[in-house]
Amino acid sequence: MDVTFGPYETYNDEIFGYKAAFEAYINVRDDKETARLAFLGNHLQDIESNLPEDPQVRNSKLGALAPIRVVNEVFAAGDGAHAVQTAAYNLPNDDKVVQQKGSKRVMLKNVQEAKFKATLVPISKIVLTASAQKDLSFDLFFTHIVAHELCHGLGPHQIKINGRDTNPRMELKEQYSALEEAKADVTGLFALQFLMTQADNGRLDAPIAHGPEAERQLYTTYLASSFRTMRFGLQDAHARGQAMQFNYFLDKGAFTSNSDGTFSVEVAKMKDAVRELDHELLTLEATGDYAGAKKWMDQLGSVRPEVQHALARLKSVPTDIAPVYAILNVPR
């Protein structure tokens, strides 16, 4: 079993984003899948050391990192069962604890499979071109969520502002949650692209898909999944961070809006845009730049007309899953 219980997430505090709510999860471990994905955790220092940020703020020695744990959820309660269902979590959120002890990364595989089948596949049939729908990949959807959770632990955590010790969460206030979720998304894409390139060049024996086809599947699945997240509404930190990413990639030509209302990915432009956006987000956190973060999110954290039209066409698709936890009478 794998059990999590405590006051961790602050998404519902819309004043400063400081106050946490209690949540609980009861899960059953999947040790086979955990062993396969341990590869990602074993290469976090390589990724950290190559992040597109000022080398002076890179962490040359990451804190002790608990192994990735893949589980199947049996029961969730409190904030863990509130609104959008959690697909993964990376806890605790206390930056000092993360720095000294690392954090626990838990992937709820059965929840992710349910979301993929019930929401992402139907969404892809509406927002992707017919030729791109074959590139939807659960394996890369799942792997990117793993990378997202791992990348919460990368980048700036303890920073100095005018000689004062602090952290990005305290400095960026209500802007932090959306910005941090976006940072984890984009750094996750950067991390997977970095590992894929290393594998393509023969410098890494990776148990993850790589090569041009895998790259296309990664970014196409991410594009379709963007609509899944934006449907949660801009009051949700994940959705607002996702809208910001989507608009940035549109502006860079990495995403294209087609005349029939579908969207496409330009893989070559996507690689460059991911690196550039990751640099921007990591820099905002490293400098604790509240004014810069607010301006950035005000400019890009909205739903544009072409995206709104696509979202309106998704009304027949469920926004999210709603698990029912049944208690069975099992003979002793």
| pLDDT, mean of residues 28-53 | 89
Q: Record the pTM.
A: 0.84
| Structural tokens at position 219 | 């970014």
At residue 64 the predicted structure's pLDDT band, cuts being 50, 70 and 90, is: low
At residue 66 the predicted structure's pLDDT band, cuts being 50, 70 and 90, is: low
Residue ranges of domains in the chain: 2-312
Looking only at Cα atoms, what is the longest distance across the chain? 65
| HSE value, Cβ hemisphere, 13 Å, CA-based, for 282 | 29
Return d(Cα 331, Cα 328) in angstroms, integer: 9
CA angle 250, 254, 260 (to 5 degrees): 65
Which residues have CB under 8 Å from 72's CB, separation 6+?
Answer: 27, 28, 30, 108, 109, 110
Return d(Cα 81, Cα 77) in angstroms, integer: 5
At residue 67 the predicted structure's pLDDT band, cuts being 50, 70 and 90, is: low
Task: Please write the tens of the pLDDT for every residue from 204-244.
Answer: 777 778 889 999 999 999 999 999 999 988 888 899 999 99
Cα 152 to chain centroid distance, Å, stands at 8
Q: Find which of 36-50, 66-80, 99-113, 276-290 is predicted with most confidence, using mean pLDDT.
A: 276-290
Task: Please write the tens of the pLDDT for every residue from 71-93.
Answer: 999 999 999 888 788 888 888 87
What local confidence, expressed as pLDDT, does residue 286 receive? 94
Which residues have CB under 8 Å from 198's CB, separation 6+?
Answer: 204, 206
Q: What percent of the chain has pLDDT over 70?
A: 98
